[in-house]
Chain A
Amino acid sequence: MAAQEPVTGEALQAAQTSRQFATFFVEGLFFGIDVLQVQEVLRYQEMTRVPLAQEVIEGLINLRGQIVTAVDMRRRLKLPPRADGRMPMNTVVRTEEGAVSLLVDEIGDVVEVDADLFESPPDNVDPAARELLQGVYKLKDRLLLILDTERTIDLAAGTPQSQKI
């Protein structure tokens, strides 16, 4: 394990209280988003592709009359593509710019975690992923990676590599 990171202000804030996270899996990784930010979780929805859009944008879905952009978390995190036939799930998060759907492999439970289990993401985490993480909760059996949703959906400020396509 990497040496203890100096805790940043943001991380401190995130770590102050015990919090609840909605969780999901992407390529075996266990992610969490503050439960208050999650609007809803949906099965796979039919999607309209957007030609010329960045690769991470899977398409647009009709969420009861609201048009929501779907971001593929595998591409966002530079992970290998989903195996054929496996349909992603929608985790719709509320953001300042309206709702955005994150496409994930599987939905997990809502977990409540203790603040003192929090740690900033270690240095050696892949930069593509590290940038999107607020930090890590060291749960008993596994690590819970906390996503920074605003940064996740902000493709313009995202990892420069993803801009190429």
Chain B
Amino acid sequence: MVVRPESLSWPHPGINGADGLAERSGTVMEDQEIIKEFLIESNENLARLDREMVELERRPKDTELLASIFRTMHTIKGTCGFLGFGTLEAITHRAEDILSQLREGQRDLTPELVTIILEAVDATKKVMVLIEATGTEGPETYSELRDRLEEARKGRLAAPEETAAPVAVPSAAEETPGPASVPPAAPAPTAAQMAPAEAESIQKAPSVSDSSIRVDVGLLDKLMNLVGELVLTRNQILQFNAQQEDSTLNTTSQRLNLITTELQAGVMKTRMQPIGVVWNKLPRVVRDMASSFGKQIQLEMDGADTELDKTIIEAIKDPLTHIVRNCCDHGIETPEVRAARGKPPQGKLGLRAFHEGGQVNIEISDDGAGLDPQRLKDKALQKGLIRPEQAERMSDREAFGLIFLPGFSTAATVTNVSGRGVGMDVVKTNVEKIGGVVDLVSRVGEGTTVKLKIPLTLAIIPGLVVTSGGERFVIPQVSLLELIRLEGESGKQQIEWIQGTPVYRRRGKLLPIAYLNEVLKRGSAQEADVLNIVVLQAEDRQFGLVVDGISDTQEIVVKPLGKQLKGLSCYAGATIMGDGHVSLILDVLGIGQMSGVVRESREQSRAESERNEHARNDRQTFLLFRAGPFERLSVPLSLVARLEEFPQANIERASGKPVVQYRGQILPLASLGAILEPGSQDSAAVQDPAQVIVFNDGERRIGILVDQILDIAEDTITVRQSGERKGLLGSAVIGEKVTDLVDLRAVIETAREDWFSTQVRDSAQGATIMVAEGSAFSRGLVRNALEAAGYRVVEAANNAEALRELEQRKVDAVVTALDLPGGGAYNLVAQMRAVRDLAGIPVLALANSAEEAGARGKREPGFEDCQLKFDHDAMMRSVARLAAAVRAAEPAPVMYGGKE
């Protein structure tokens, strides 16, 4: 048995004084580990010293042997000094001095010298037995021995007979030199030198070195491989047994099954290390970071003895350190801030590890500032990592996930430790590489917890066996989310197609589908009544893989593929099945990439996302409807206030136009079909009940009569400008069908001529407005509105384009989206303000949501005004005001910030 840490009576004064580690909890464990290591190592060394000293006596001229002895003694001395064992250090130091003299040829080796060095070795062993039992060196200082060693060093060796008296030289060492000659660390302690009780207790407790041996990791790996083979053979026998009726075979194979399982667990255990091995380094990391940031952080560790496979321990070392650094840097606040928030000045950082369901859970929690989901979304928007609509729909939990996106960093300032936007994504990648999962929960002001779920081992994994084209394949269970079975013709029709790409509606969300047969080019999927979809997770994407059949789950042993097959990214390896056949293990990420449902890689996707920024921004949700002769019309859903049905009886007329009483107001109605195609048969006007789309424009509302509401679709659109039909912006492909986009502005204008105040028109005369907006569609809407009001419009799709245009022509005001590509509106304003000629141009920012407009528009400096993107009325008023202010100040241009 290994000595239990509790039996060591910590704190040990010598050790605490020796190095200045601050965190108690960490230090104790660290020291216990170190001392255990020290005892094992030194006992081995001392056993060798015995042997070598005797050997040296026979061959005193063997310089190599002498050098080895010297090194060993030196190592022991060094470690003793480091751990604060003064007595040991003094003894070994003197012995080392003598050896040094011998090594340098200053004196010759005499039996007396050998004896006294061996005596020193023995004394060292005794002290170490005491350390192991009590944690201290004990009261004995060996001053007499030290004196004699000192004498010997000076060349005045006392008479040999004296040496025999106080400490018995183990006779074994003199008689039979060899590995077994000295039982390591267990020389019979002379009872005279210690209290009887103490001596007894020491003799009873088996020492560390007795119960543990050092084993080469290579050997353990080999054992693990053999067990893997055994597991496979066992699987084969079990499968064979299932077809037999022999009861003896039955019992035997069951027994084999049990033993194999136990053996597998046992061998796996030999490769296990407590997670404390990694944690040991953290107290120091935390201490250093705390002191450099002027923070107070208390580190608490729970479950340090939780064991993990050695390879996994290696793999999580860096991610774990990174998370802890992040907690110290961004999570826990400075004592002043904490005091102001009513928290104790000392922050807490907790590490917890435990086993659960065949996995290891590691939780890193702090009681710091926590993460604000809204701030995360803002940041992600600003960096162009997500789209505005995405941000709105995002739950807090999803928002926390943003922190793992490449290029994301919430730190306001970049420190030398973290905040460079690399890190958490790497953490996620590394953890996922070993089949683990990262999760993060946080509450503003209360703290953050990062949870890692990690498999126990990598060599033998559970896998799902599927068939495709007559072959079996194995899918690692970690990637598996769920299985979907679609039966019959109706089931098959649930697979829908977008431009040749199959998708499936899974709980309202579209799941991209790939056919394994097609990915592996094994011909088209065979016609079957049942469609099996395996839903898989690859990095942050999910997709469905259609396979011919699903068999069962099995423990499989992962074997690498030969060099000839290394280039195939769709396989993670191969394994041998119960019937002896070889099956390929699918690499889920590789399959996803080959079938195009997962983007190439993170790096590439980043570059690509920048390239596709336009297209991405154009992805919008549309309301699709039918009106008059137009089968498929659409408006952006964000413009729609409500969809209503009114019985025809409720529709009244006011000054010759249809109206309806709606929420205590009079809602004017206009029939879209009649506006778009004057003279056409107005079916919407007679339909009962009438289908009405209600639009809000500031305080006013208008209802548009349509024939039928069709659907809501999200798509990336490219508007193709059509012929100059009034009321239509153009057409685009939405949901695979050509759809006309309604120019709401023009429609309303036609319907209610009094909608726009003439005052706006006047101020518009001749003014040039720049519209800076990444989305071509939104830009078009704004442009149409401005042009309709009589402004000249200059367009820019991103920051660089805007600045270029601004330098080339005179612009009276700038209307920019907050999420303008190329650093956002802030960046543009900052750059404009830095140029003298541009500094005076007023800027109106357009926000995607009221929250954004409220929070950001006011907080962030630099804008003259901030309005909602689709609130055209407010926007027009704002533009009119800004343009008028500029024109009033002319001819002398207004200089807001520039003085010469």
Contact = CB atoms under 8 A, between A and B. Distances in A.
Contacts of B571: 50
A125 interface: no
B520 A62 contact: no
A57 B563 CA distance: 12
B574 A51 contact: no
Given A48-B582, A50-B584, A65 B229 contact: yes
Nearest to B229: A65
B581 A62 contact: yes
A51 B233 CA distance: 26
Contact of B233 (A49, A65, A67): A65
A60 B560 CA distance: 12
A52 B564 contact: no
Interface in A4-52: 46-52
Given A50-B571, A67-B574, A57 B565 contact: yes
A153 B576 contact: no
B562 A50 contact: no
A45 to B, nearest CB: 10
A51 B232 CA distance: 24
A69 B581 contact: no
Contacts of A54: 564
A52 B520 contact: yes
B16 interface: no
Contact of B581 (A46, A51, A57, A156): A46
A67 B561 contact: yes
Interface of B is mostly: mixed
A98 interface: yes
Contact of A60 (B522, B567, B568, B574): B574
A71 B563 CA distance: 12
A69 B582 contact: no
A51 B561 contact: no
Contact of B232 (A52, A65, A98): A65
A53 interface: yes
A46 to B, nearest CB: 7
B564 A51 contact: no
Given A48-B581, A52-B521, A100 B564 contact: yes
B564 A71 contact: yes
B148 to A, nearest CB: 60
A50 B568 CA distance: 10
B582 A61 contact: yes
A60 B469 CA distance: 17
A6 B448 CA distance: 75
Contacts of B584: 48, 50, 60
A155 interface: yes
Interface string B547-588: 000000000000101111101101100111000111110000
Nearest to B580: A62
A97 interface: yes
Interface residues on B, range: 20 to 34
A154 B567 CA distance: 13
Interface string A101-142: 000000000000000000000000000000000000000000
B563 A67 contact: no
Given A52-B521, A52-B568, A52-B570, A62 B562 contact: no
A149 to B, nearest CB: 13
B574 A49 contact: no
Contacts of A154: 563
Nearest to A60: B582
A97 B568 contact: no
B564 A65 contact: no
B562 A69 contact: yes
A100 B562 contact: yes
A48 B471 contact: yes
Contacts of B564: 53-54, 57, 69, 71, 100, 153, 155
A67 B582 CA distance: 7
B576 A67 contact: yes
A101 to B, nearest CB: 10
Interface in A78-105: 97-98, 100
A71 B570 CA distance: 20
A91 to B, nearest CB: 16
A62 B229 contact: no
Contacts of B562: 67-69, 97-98, 100
A62 B570 contact: no
B880 to A, nearest CB: 63
Contacts of A69: 561-562, 564-565
Given A48-B583, A53-B565, A57-B564, A62 B576 contact: yes
B229 A51 contact: no
B471 A49 contact: yes
Contacts of B565: 50, 53, 57, 69
Contact of A51 (B522, B563, B576): B522
Q: Which 4 A-B pairs have the closest CB atoms?
A: A51-B520, A69-B562, A48-B582, A60-B582
10 contacts: A48-B583, A51-B522, A57-B564, A57-B565, A62-B576, A62-B581, A67-B561, A69-B564, A100-B562, A153-B564
